[in-house]
Structure 1
Amino acid sequence: MTKNHPSNTDPASAPLVITQRTPGGLGLITLNRPKALNALSLQMIRLLTDALRGWQHDAGIHAVAIRGMGKAGEGFAPFGAFCAGGDIRFFHQAALAADEALGDFFTEEYALNHLIHTYGKPYIAFMDGIVMGGGMGLSQGGSLRVVTERTKMAMPETRIGLFPDVGGGWFLSRTPGHVGEWLALTGHVLKGDEAVPARLADGCVASAELPALWQHLADTAWDSGAAVQRWVAAHFAAGGADQISDRAQIDHYFSLPSMPAIIAALEASSAEWARQTAEELRTRSPLMLHVTLEQIRRARHMALADELRMERDLVYHCFHQRAGADSETVEGIRALAVDKDHAPRWNPARIEDITPEMVARFFVSPWAPKGHPLAGL
């Protein structure tokens, strides 16, 4: 395993994923792609998987902790950004080139998400800064999920014509009430103290404390993983938000039976919150809003492995039901990250134009059960 580099070393000279096995029995992981806000590449997914599998049954490793390298002005500093998601520019290029590595990316990422959820040892995620998409996949399966006042947490995939993957259906559907539907459909960004009542984090610490906490983890001889976890949890700040703002409105509107019903009720309301939420939803992919709502509601009653297999089916259809530039996802990425005109040409263009048949096609697996890419989960 690679040793952790000093903070004054240029991260560009270090691996994309830095791993350290401490004498005290910890496995420490630093995501090290700060210029891209630690967006995940296939190489990073493979490095993470190799490290975690290597430590999983190693009696000398009691627990694992993971953080992201952040940008500080023109320099770099530990923490400040966890992971902004997957490398969506790669998705765009690979889809247009019909590159098989695109399928490998999602298969291996979802297998990594499952590994984290079922790890069997304490896995502590320090979710400072941006935690979106793939970053949620690296953290939500952790046994201890730590946020700060700088945390910006979201599953914003409907903005790019995708759906909340990396187990998003599973963990969002287990938030209180109908918060999961709201977060999945709108991509709303939660602050750190809001993530705790949403059940997407376990506690909040001040970002200024993180370097010292991490150093103590590295320098201490630990008796057990449980001791590591208790020590970190003892640093959680008291107080913070005890509930999610607008919870009553969220449950009222996002419990409605369909996307047309949700948008109609929001637009019929005179409340400012409802009006703004409707405007936000109108900018998202209408097709993927329908697919996402169905995903969340199915996932609420599914085991994790089954839900991840469903997501693998969904992402296949996102890129293959309409191939190349005709893909809703490719168009969404083009508008947000390639041309950056922020004017996606969604097809169909309106929430009301989506038929049940269009949605149902996404939930038909292209693989027989034994041949599924995630059959081994």
Structure 2
Amino acid sequence: MAPTRRFYEWRFDAVIPSLQSEGLVLAEVNGCLGLITLNRPQALNALSLAMIRDMTALLSAWADDPRIQAVAVLGAGREGKPAAFCAGGDIRFFHQAALAGDDALDAFFTEEYALNHLIHQFPKPYIALMDGVVMGGGMGISQGAKLRVLTEHSKLAMPETNIGLFPDVGGGWFLSRCPGHSGEWLALTGQAIGAGDAIELGLGDVFVKSGELPAIIDGLRTGVQDSAEHVVATVMERADLAPVAEHWASRALINRHFKAESVQALFASLEADTDPWARQTLATLRKRSPLMMAVTLEQIRRARGMSLADDLRMERDLVHRCFHLRPGAASETVEGIRALAVDKDHAPKWNPATIDGVRREDVEAFFQSPWTVAGHPLRALA
């Protein structure tokens, strides 16, 4: 096998395009495998625009390169710290760019959503090692994977309503396809779930114990990888039984309440229920942006009948409205990020402050595209 390994090593540089994120994305080739490591552990591997561009360049090159038959993606860790695959997009950048009127903010979302689509449509096995925190943008670069690998440390969530946003990166598409009304529950509450629930809800595929990950990664990085089947087998040979789904027992309550036609009806349903789960869920929702919960519920309901490409175009419209319907500090999203990550007072001043103040026309305004069909920044997605 040694001559084969030397042959693969000899051609490494031929299949790795130049990267621009200054080491925040690392790329390796081992045999037929392209390996991507998100290397921003001090920020839980949150995505920057340069990182998105590097991933896009790598996947675009590898999709067309017959020497690459599979791709794996993982997040770099910090010794002695909890694992993180990817905590999402760089929300501090969102805040700064929105206040400064920086065009890079528009580029970020256009290119991120195009990357999400590329991953879902990638023609070769794409494996996501989803150890630790997998939130927001981290879900966007993992949900399209052919093999979504979870551990006991996996913590999946789409917590955008907590910052006055909505579950983007294709969240409308993949959450709306969860069983029953669990997609609405995850979208509105931002509830984090573990491996057992993720697999039950169709948001993960296979469980491995975190103690097995070093051997898996070593096998991907240094073992003989001469076929896509062998790459997948490197993971699957260490697969284990998934843990029990922690929240699955609440599915009847989730379906009963989150089938509500509106957020106002959802609140009324929860308020009439004395079950501790309902009380806790109601308390969580009362901390979220009333306006963006209403937008999010509408998003999930619309996305259920959409293709992924159409959903991503809708989400591109929505995120534009998040920052431009009320520019600058008046934006719900800018205010939510300020409260969570900038001033860290955890006391956002939502407008309106309660769900009763949300008007139907306020919600519908988010779904009015600022672009023509021909002029849409994601018009090429199919």
Match among 18, 22, 28 for residue 26 of structure 2: 18
C-alpha distance in 2 between matches for 1:236 and 1:374: 37
Cross-structure match for 2:230: 227
**Match of 1:64, SS?**
strand
Confirm whether residue 332 of structure 1 aligns to residue 340 of structure 2.
no
For the pair 1:43 / 2:50, whether they are aligned, the reply is yes
How far is the alpha carbon of 1:225 from its aligned partner?
Answer: 1.5
Corresponding residue of 1:54: 61
Name the SS of the counterpart of 1:67 in structure 2.
strand
Task: Give 3-state SS (helix, strand or coil) of 1:121's partner.
Answer: coil
Tell me how far apart the structure 2 counterparts of residues 216 and 73 of structure 1 sit (CA, whole Å).
23
Instruction: Choose which of 183, 188, 198 in structure 1 pairs with 2:186.
Output: 183
Deviations 1:5-32 (A, max 9, x none): xxxxxxxx9700000011x210001000
User: Could you tell me how far 1:239 is from its partner in structure 2?
Assistant: 4.4
- In the other structure, the counterpart of 1:277 is 281
Percent of paired sites with the same residue: 61
1:64 paired residue number: 71
Q: Which residue does the alignment assign to 2:303?
A: 299
Match of 1:89 in 2: 92
For residue 322 of structure 2, what is the amino acid of its counterpart?
C
8 Å CA contact 1:2, 1:18 repeated in 2: no
- What is the aligned partner in structure 2 of residue 156 from structure 1? 159
Question: Is 2:204 the partner of 1:201?
Answer: yes
Partner of 1:376: 380
Provide the residue aligned with 1:121 in structure 2.
124
Match of 1:322? Answer: 326
Number of the residue aligned with 2:348: 344
- Kept after mapping to 1: 8 A contact 2:219/2:234: no
Indicate conservation of the 8 Å contact 2:322/2:331, yes or no.
yes
CA contact (8 A) 1:49 1:112 kept: yes
Give the aligned partner of residue 6 of structure 2.
none
Whether 1:309 and 2:313 are equivalent positions in the alignment is yes
> What is the CA–CA distance in structure 1 between the aligned matches of 2:75 and 2:145, rounded to whole Å?
15
Instruction: Give, in whole Å, the separation in 2 of the partners of 1:18 and 1:214.
Output: 14
Of 100, 110, 113, the match for 1:107: 110
Unaligned runs of 5+ in 1: 4-12
Q: Say if 2:88 and 2:136, in contact at 8 Å, map to a contact too.
A: yes
2:18 matched to which residue of 1? none
Q: Give 1:354's aligned residue.
A: 358
C-alpha distance in 2, partners of 1:239/1:331?
A: 39
1:131 is paired with a residue whose SS is strand
363, 367, 370: which is aligned to 1:366? 370
State the secondary structure of the residue aligned to 1:182.
Answer: helix
1:19 alignment partner AA: A
Question: Which residue type is aligned with residue 31 of structure 1?
Answer: L
Question: For residues 305-362 of structure 1, what are the alpha-carbon distances to aligned partners after superposition, in whole Å with 9 as ceiling and x for unaligned?
Answer: 0000000000000000000000000000000000000000000111111111111111
Contact 1:179 1:247 in 2 (8 A): yes
Partner of 1:212: 215
Code of the aligned partner of 1:120: P
Q: Is the 8 A contact 1:181 1:296 kept in 2?
A: yes
Q: Which amino acid aligns with 2:250?
A: D
Instruction: Answer yes or no: is the 8 Å Cα contact 2:216–2:234 preserved in 1.
Output: no
Alignment of 1:31 onto 2:47: no
- Give the partner amino acid of 2:33: L
1:279 aligns to what SS in structure 2?
helix
Between stretches 267-276 and 313-322, larger displacement belongs to: 267-276
Between the aligned partners of 1:81 and 1:231, the Cα distance in structure 2 is 21
Residue identity opposite 1:180 in structure 2:
G
SS of residue paired to 1:19: strand
Q: Is the 8 A contact 1:30 1:68 kept in 2?
A: yes
Q: Deviations over 1:227-257 (max 9, x none)?
A: 3224423322124226723011001000111
What TM-score do the two structures reach when normalised by structure 2?
A: 0.92
What per-residue deviation string (whole Å, max 9, x for no partner) do you get for residues 281-314 of structure 1?
Answer: 0100000000000000110110000000000000
Q: Report the aligned-residue RMSD.
A: 1.6
Answer yes or no: is the 8 Å Cα contact 1:172–1:180 preserved in 2.
Answer: yes
Partner of 1:147: 150
Conservation of the 8 A alpha-carbon contact between 1:148 and 1:193: no
